[in-house]
Amino acid sequence: MTRRPSPQSRPRGGRRAKAPTLTTGRLSVVEVLRCQLTEMDRSAYPTDISDDQWDRLQLVFPNGVCDWPQPGIGQVPLVGTWLGY
């Protein structure tokens, strides 16, 4: 027997909407599965970080942190989609 979601948890209209890209099996353009890494730079943080905090950050992220301005690894730019109106 399967449990039915409560009326409060169901979207209005009774159907669950899916993103078109997920329905077709493609990834959404906002999904980055793996980011390019960059070395951590203590001066890049907007607040003072104690030595203990900095040491812990280096332990948690030994290979670096995500370089968000860079495209994700394997991410390709869109071609011919909404280039003009």
What are the domain boundaries of the chain?
18-85
Structure tokens, 12: 């209005």
The helix/strand/coil state of 37 is strand
Confidence of residue 40 (pLDDT cuts 50, 70, 90): very high
Using a cut of 0.75, tell me whether the model's pTM lies above it: no
Decide: 12 and 5 in contact? Cβ < 8 Å: no
Q: State how far the Cα of 71 lies from the Cα of 75, in Å rounded to an integer.
A: 6
Q: State how far the Cα of 37 lies from the Cα of 72, in Å rounded to an integer.
A: 9
Q: Read off the amino acid at residue 27.
A: L
pLDDT one-digit tens code per residue, 69-81: 898 888 877 777 6
